[in-house]
């Protein structure tokens, strides 16, 4: 079954090529397609395109299909092109002509647009929740190891004293910024394109505000052409937010790989977290973190993949957009996998104490010694030259103490302030409202 079916049968080779991975990937959209259809049927009844009893029957059938899809039991049958066709086919099979009325006032174009918006909205919630879980763990580790000092580097050279509290806390706060970007993308995604049809509206007296409210969208994509232009651009914007989180995770994983190296030897993990070598019995390889690093590097290329797929497309719908599912859907899963495995592994991290007692790290304290001279009244540039001469002559012997008190420094991590920033970001998403609206939509 094809919603666009005409008298002439489509060449089977052409059909196979043009369908691509849609039959597999569309199953991820099943519950969202049904939610959109419930809201659409309610609106059709309000504007007189469905009788009230017809809408009641449609809604009951759709709710049954929703729960079937939720359990993973709704499949796209052989000969049926996509999830939209499958749902309409099942409705028609059960309800006859009533099922055929569900497509009034919409096109597959705005149908897939709303499916994707609802799907992305749900996936963003999952990504945000998993990011928040990792954030919480990083915050806990920051507090736990706040007094454990470590080397800080610039240009990969010893620079100044840092701490594991700063290290963990830095990546925690980076995730806050990542979710601020995700929240901005969420606001763009959470607009209703339903009713734009093929991108030019239609002559039915649709109530688009009603479907907006029923589906929990913040607002409408008012201009119907603009709504259709959201296909591709929505995926691109979402991919930038995914890539931002991936950049944080990838950099953190690189740090871990480096700090596990025997020449650094800052941290360790239990043997079950690392892997061995086929010929070198001493090896404990950080494969997990190397793969997170590689996967996150790939995720940072996703915006380029999406952009290059649609870079030369004019206004309106094009079948090219279908391929975006094959890019963005796996990307979402890969990021969630990375978030999950990092949290699992980090719960087992061990920190090597007393790192800065080694003589090779004494120059980390040079700035502290300069600052002490300045506090005694010596001009900074003179203090700098005095300590530089001491280092060059080999007489530099610092006190290995740190007294940083300003906000965000070793002695004042501002963990509570960073938590406050994250709490405000999470609150701004307003996921609870969406859950309530969709629960109401599924009530008979």
**Beta strand segments in 125-205, E:** 149-154, 157-163, 191-192
List, for the chain, all residue ranges whose pLDDT scores fall below the cut of 70: 1-11, 13, 15-16, 18-20
CATH number listed for the domain at residues 114-146+164-203+221-357+414-437: 1.20.200.10
Beta bridge partners of 158: 153
SS3 351: strand
Give the global pTM.
Answer: 0.93
Query: CATH topology of 12-103 equal to that of 114-146+164-203+221-357+414-437?
Result: no
- The residue extents of the domains of the chain are 12-103, 114-146+164-203+221-357+414-437, 359-411
User: CB of 62 within 8 A of CB of 44?
Assistant: no
Can you give the pLDDT at residue 4? 44
Q: Which of 135, 173, 192, 149 is nearest to 339 (CA)?
A: 135
How confident is the model at residue 20, as a pLDDT?
A: 67
CA distances from 127 to 40, 120, 185 (A): 28, 10, 13
β-bridge partners, 267 = 351
Q: Are 365 and 399 in contact (CB under 8 A)?
A: yes
pLDDT for 376-411, tens place per residue? 999 999 999 999 999 999 999 998 989 899 999 999
> What is the C-alpha to C-alpha distance for residues 323 and 112, in angstroms, rounded to an integer?
13
Residue 266 to residue 149: CA distance in whole angstroms: 10
Question: DSSP letter string over 35-61?
Answer: HHHHHHHHHHHHTTSS-HHHHHHHHHH
Q: What per-residue confidence (pLDDT) applies to 284?
A: 87
User: Within the chain, how many helices (H) and strands (E) appear?
Assistant: 17, 6
Structure tokens at 411: 């002695």
Tokens of 57: 């029957």
Angstrom distance (rounded) from CA 338 to CA 249: 8
Helix/strand/coil percent split, the chain, to 5: 65, 5, 30
SS3 267: strand
How distant is the alpha carbon of residue 415 from its chain centre? 24
3-state secondary structure of 68: helix
- For 130-281, strand residue ranges (E) read 149-154, 157-163, 191-192, 219-220, 267-268
- Measured CA angle at 75 (ends 72, 81), to 5 deg: 145
CA-CA distance, 162 to 171, in Å (whole number)? 14
171 in Cβ contact with 110 (< 8 Å): no
What is the CATH number that goes with domain 12-103?
A: 1.10.275.10
CA-to-CA distance for 37 and 238, rounded, in angstroms?
Answer: 24
How far apart CA 215 and CA 218 sit, in angstroms, is: 9
Taking phi first (over 0 means left), then psi (-120 to 50 degrees means alpha), and beta for anything else, what does residue 315 get?
A: beta
pLDDT at 149: 96
Residue whose token pair is 């010694």: 369
User: Whole-angstrom Cα distance, residue 71 to residue 21?
Assistant: 21
């Amino acid at each position: 079954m094809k919603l666009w079916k005409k008298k002439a049968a489509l060449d089977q080779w052409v059909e196979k090529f043009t369908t691509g991975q849609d039959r597999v990937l569309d199953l991820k959209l099943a519950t969202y397609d049904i939610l959109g259809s419930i809201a659409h049927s309610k609106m059709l009844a309000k504007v007189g395109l469905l009788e009230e009893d017809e809408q009641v029957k449609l809604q009951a059938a759709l709710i049954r299909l929703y729960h079937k899809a939720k359990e993973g039991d709704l499949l796209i049958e052989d000969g049926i092109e996509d999830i939209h066709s499958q749902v309409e086919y099942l409705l028609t099979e059960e309800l006859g002509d009533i099922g055929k009325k569900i497509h009034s006032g919409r096109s597959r174009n705005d149908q897939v647009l709303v499916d994707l918006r609802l799907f992305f909205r749900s996936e963003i919630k999952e990504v945000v929740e998993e990011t928040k879980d990792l954030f919480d763990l990083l915050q806990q580790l920051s507090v736990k190891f706040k007094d454990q000092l470590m080397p800080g580097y610039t240009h990969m050279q010893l620079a100044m004293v840092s701490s594991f509290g700063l290290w963990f806390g830095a990546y925690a706060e980076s995730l806050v910024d990542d979710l601020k970007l995700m929240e901005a993308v969420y606001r763009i995604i959470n607009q209703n394109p339903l009713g734009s049809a093929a991108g030019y509206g239609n002559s039915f007296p649709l109530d688009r505000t009603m479907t907006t409210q029923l589906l929990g969208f913040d607002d409408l994509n008012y201009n119907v052409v603009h709504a259709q232009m959201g296909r591709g651009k929505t995926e691109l914007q979402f991919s930038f937010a995914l890539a931002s989180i991936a950049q944080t995770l990838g950099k953190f994983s690189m740090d871990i790989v480096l700090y596990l190296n025997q020449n650094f030897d800052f941290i360790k993990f239990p043997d079950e977290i690392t892997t061995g070598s086929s010929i070198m019995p001493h090896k404990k390889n950080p494969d997990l973190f190397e793969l997170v690093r590689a996967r996150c590097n790939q995720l940072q290329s996703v915006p380029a993949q999406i952009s290059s797929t649609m870079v030369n497309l004019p206004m309106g719908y094009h079948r090219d957009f279908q391929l975006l599912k094959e890019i963005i859907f796996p990307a979402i899963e890969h990021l969630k996998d990375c978030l999950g495995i990092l949290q699992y592994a980090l719960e087992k991290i061990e920190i090597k104490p007393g790192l800065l007692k080694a003589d090779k790290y004494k120059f980390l304290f040079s700035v502290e010694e300069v600052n002490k001279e300045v506090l005694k009244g010596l001009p900074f540039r003179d203090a700098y030259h005095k300590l530089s001469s001491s280092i060059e002559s080999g007489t530099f012997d610092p006190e290995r103490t740190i007294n940083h008190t300003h906000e965000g420094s070793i002695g004042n991590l501002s963990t509570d302030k960073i938590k406050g920033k994250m709490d405000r970001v999470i609150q701004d998403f307003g996921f609870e409202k969406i859950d309530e609206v969709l629960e109401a939509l599924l009530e008979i």
